[in-house]
Amino acid sequence: MPIYLNGEIKQAASKPKLDDLTPRQIVAELDKYIIGQAAAKRAVAVALRNRIRRRKLPPEIAQEVLPKNILMIGSTGIGKTEIARRLARIADSPFIKIEASKFTEVGYVGRDVESMVRELTEIAVEMSKQAAQAEVLEQAKQNVEEKILDILLPSSDSFVSEDFKPNAGDSSTDKSFSNRTREKLRQQLRGGELDERLIEIETQDRSNSMIDFVGGQGMEEVGVNLRDMFGNLFPSKTVRRKTKLSEAKDYMLRDEQENLVDTEQVNRSAIEKTESSGIIFLDEIDKIAGRESNSGGGGGGPDVSREGVQRDLLPIVEGTTVNTRYGMVATDHILFVAAGAFHVSKPSDLIPELQGRFPIRVELESLSLEDFKQILIQPKNSLIMQYQQLLKTEGIILEFSEDAVSTLAEMTFEINRNTEDIGARRLHTLLEKLLEEISFLGGELENKNQTIDKAYVENKLGELVKDEDLRQYIL
């Protein structure tokens, strides 16, 4: 499913169009959610802007302009994944994050590299379907309303009592009376007065007959729908449901939207979207950055297929055609963003051909003390804001003093420096431990106004931070 932030859809209309966004404006959008990492933001902003520029070129030239794939180098928790994810949201592009370490060389049990293109296409199809259904939403609502009125008032004789029936011979009067009754029901329906009424409806049977294939290249995790395979042998069935009218509207609206949408057009649009604006984020690429010559001696062990995976990745990144259930998808213009910590290996350990396919390399910086302070309070989805909103649902007003934020940042920076550096993820651990008691008691707290100051932070976390043995396990 495509990724959206709560509340962002409503604001989309006020945002500038993608074609109007300059690299500087793209960086400004990323700054709302990601602290620091200016070089990485500039690199992805230029990559996105080049896609916009490519669309304006004549087709014969546009076909030759390939995306400049990006390799991000840096430790965990400093924003690599978030930069790529936010970029996809800005561009409204199909986006998938996948760990390169999950892939295995052809011939070994595991996932083959083409599966990521198939998954990206699935996401694009879902995005195109949602867009198409949004376009027909108003028409679908009108159709559902008429169908519900037909159920509620199949004919004047079946709904109107004997005392109020007009003369049977007067057809025009009968029709007029039926129309008035129908309009009265329409007003009640729109006003929600009939929502609790039980009605019987027919909806599509959505239970799927699936076969899971185990083994075979390209079939490692694909459930094949028997209806897709055999077509008319499994015609779509309808089931009768007796439900409240308010729930029936949802069932009927979904069916009506699907009936109004051209599935073939959705699939074509999704394939085009995948090919022209898809983004694949290859995480942990350093885990496959080994050469067979480095494995030493035998050719067994966990390193056995590292270079093989790289060789399998190469044609996908270079540009090939992958068969999906919706049709053939060309990968020539998909943007690949790879990332890795490269603590043990280094980028030069990748095979030369793959290195050449990631011409833009960006080294992300470790987070500073000031960065940790900003992460806590500045982004739209800042950690402190998230906890405040969660506790607010139970009437708890949570406030953080400035010295509490500074102390939290200092503790995080110090622990990362003295132990394993896991970046901003350390803040999640510290905040959970800090607010454990307040979160546990929640609405049972007598004092609904909770203020977190420096003394509170030191009382809850001070001993843990000082005790090296304890923090190895808890923090």
Q: Predicted confidence band at 104 (pLDDT cuts at 50, 70, 90)? A: low
Report the pLDDT averaged over residues 377-404.
Answer: 91
Q: Predicted confidence band at 81 (pLDDT cuts at 50, 70, 90)? A: confident
Report the pLDDT averaged over residues 345-362.
Answer: 90
Using one digit for the tens of pLDDT, what is the confidence trace for 165-189?
Answer: 445 455 666 677 778 888 888 888 8
Report the pLDDT averaged over residues 120-139.
Answer: 92
pLDDT of residue 13: 41
pLDDT at 396 over 60: yes
pLDDT of residue 159: 45
pLDDT of residue 6: 35
pLDDT of residue 195: 84
Report the pLDDT averaged over residues 26-51.
Answer: 90
Q: Any idea which of 89-103, 214-228, 319-333 has the lowest mean pLDDT?
A: 214-228
pLDDT of residue 470: 54
The phi and psi torsions of 6 (rounded to 5 degrees) equal: -60, 130
pLDDT at 416 over 70: yes
Alpha-carbon gap, residue 181 to 177, rounded angstroms? 6
Q: Are the CB atoms for 90 and 201 separated by under 8 Å?
A: no
Using one digit for the tens of pLDDT, what is the confidence trace for 1-17?
Answer: 333 333 333 343 445 66
Q: Can you list the domains of the chain with their CATH numbers?
A: 8-131+267-363 (3.40.50.300), 137-260 (no CATH), 369-474 (1.10.8.60)
pLDDT of residue 185: 86
Report the pLDDT averaged over residues 395-420.
Answer: 89
pLDDT of residue 220: 43
Q: Predicted confidence band at 201 (pLDDT cuts at 50, 70, 90)? A: confident
Report the pLDDT averaged over residues 409-420.
Answer: 86
Q: Of 471 and 445, which is predicted with more confidence?
A: 445
Positive or negative, the Cα torsion across 134, 138, 143, 145? positive
Centre a 10 Å sphere on the Cβ of residue 204 and count the other Cβ atoms it contains.
Answer: 14
Report the pLDDT averaged over residues 240-251.
Answer: 84
Q: Any idea which of 113-122, 219-228, 391-400 has the lowest mean pLDDT?
A: 219-228
Using one digit for the tens of pLDDT, what is the confidence trace for 13-31?
Answer: 445 667 778 899 999 999 9
Highest mean pLDDT among 201-210, 282-291, 317-326, 419-428: 317-326
> In the chain, pLDDT over 90 holds for what percent of residues?
30
Chain position carrying tokens 């949802």: 250
Q: Predicted confidence band at 295 (pLDDT cuts at 50, 70, 90)? A: very low
pLDDT of residue 401: 92
Alpha-carbon gap, residue 128 to 94, rounded angstroms? 10
pLDDT at 292 over 90: no
Q: Any idea which of 131-135, 154-158, 268-272, 464-468 has the lowest mean pLDDT?
A: 154-158
pLDDT of residue 330: 94
pLDDT at 222 over 60: no
- pTM given for the model: 0.77
Burial class of residue 222 in the structure, from the number of CB atoms within 10 Å of its CB (0-12 exposed, 13-18 middle, 19+ buried): middle
Q: Predicted confidence band at 125 (pLDDT cuts at 50, 70, 90)? A: very high
